[in-house]
């Protein structure tokens, strides 16, 4: 008696049904050149262009200052969207985790240092902002094996206020508008110190816990 092809297929498929084996789909490979990483790399590329525009013409020509403010604003906007896109569409990569904070620190750091070199921002403010970022980076490295402290609302608000204050100070403004920019910067400094101390407290708690885990964001 001949065996029909349908019977052969059924015999091969029956064991898989009886054992309850269900093949699991492979996890999708996230391409390195995705939209989130492209935005991060764009932000890094804009930093030297921003610095050149900031110091062009002696650093106080209105046209160049407006150009510097525009470049800073574009770069800051990419920071707003790259993380959201990465999380929403599953585009998180190791490169993005490393490059995103580097891009943020390079942009903010170059802006405050540049403004201080031009005499438009007190050096103590720049030292507080840059010192906080360096300190938090070292803390993150110190506790990474014991726990993770993700960025919270306070840190995001700090970054937003810093960016707005810097953008206002970059523009060739005078009188009340310039005063408003400095007021925003003082608020940013307060948030910088406050969130830094909060992060320090959480890092100490994670370290004393002595084991791996996650801590709530600062």
What is the 3-class SS of the chain, one letter each residue? CCCCHHHHHHHHHHHHHHHCCCCCCCCCCCCCCCHHHHHHHHHHHHHHHHHHHHHHHHHCCHHHHHHHHHHHHHHHHHHHHHHHHHHHCCCCCHHHHHHHHHHHHHHHHHHHHHHHHCCCCCHHHHHHHHHHHHHHHHHHHHHCCCCECCCCHHHHHHHHHHHHHHHHHHCCCCCHHHHHHHHHHHHHHHHHHHHHHHHHHHHHHHHHHCCCCECCCC
Per-residue confidence band for 16, with pLDDT thresholds at 50, 70 and 90 = very low
Per-residue confidence band for 145, with pLDDT thresholds at 50, 70 and 90 = confident
Task: Give pLDDT, residue 107.
Answer: 93
Task: Give pLDDT, residue 191.
Answer: 95
Q: What is the pTM of this model?
A: 0.77
Per-residue confidence band for 12, with pLDDT thresholds at 50, 70 and 90 = very low
> For the ranges 13-22, 62-71, 137-146, which has the lowest average pLDDT?
13-22
Q: Which tops the pLDDT comparison, 42 or 4?
A: 42
Q: Is residue 67 within 8 Å of residue 53, measured between CB atoms?
A: yes
Task: Give pLDDT, residue 214.
Answer: 42
Does residue 93 carry a pLDDT above 90? no
Q: What is the mean pLDDT of the chain?
A: 80
Per-residue confidence band for 86, with pLDDT thresholds at 50, 70 and 90 = low
Crossing angle, helix 35-55 and helix 94-117, to 10 degrees?
Answer: 10
Does residue 117 carry a pLDDT above 90? yes
Tell me the pLDDT tens digit for each residue of 148-157: 665 567 778 8
In the predicted model, what is the mean pLDDT of residues 165-192? 93
């Amino acid at each position: 008696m001949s065996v029909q092809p349908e019977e052969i297929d059924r015999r091969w498929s029956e064991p898989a049904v009886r054992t309850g084996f269900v093949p699991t789909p492979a996890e999708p490979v996230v391409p390195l050149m995705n939209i989130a990483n492209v935005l991060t790399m764009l932000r890094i590329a804009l930093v030297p262009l921003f610095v050149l525009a900031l110091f062009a013409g002696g650093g106080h020509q209105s046209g160049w200052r407006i150009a510097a403010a525009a470049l800073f604003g574009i770069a800051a906007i990419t920071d707003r969207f790259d993380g959201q896109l990465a999380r929403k569409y599953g585009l998180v990569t190791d490169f993005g985790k490393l490059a995103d904070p580097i891009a943020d620190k390079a942009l903010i750091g170059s802006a405050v240092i540049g403004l201080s070199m031009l005499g438009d921002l007190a050096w103590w403010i720049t030292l507080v902002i840059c010192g906080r970022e360096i300190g938090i980076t070292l803390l993150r490295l110190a506790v990474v094996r014991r726990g993770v402290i993700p960025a919270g609302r306070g840190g995001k608000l700090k970054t937003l206020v810093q960016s707005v204050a810097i953008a206002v100070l970059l523009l060739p403004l005078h009188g009340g508008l310039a005063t408003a920019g400095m007021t925003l910067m003082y608020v940013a400094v307060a948030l910088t110190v406050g969130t830094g101390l909060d992060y320090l407290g959480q890092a100490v708690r994670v370290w004393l816990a002595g084991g791996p885990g996650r801590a709530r964001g600062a």
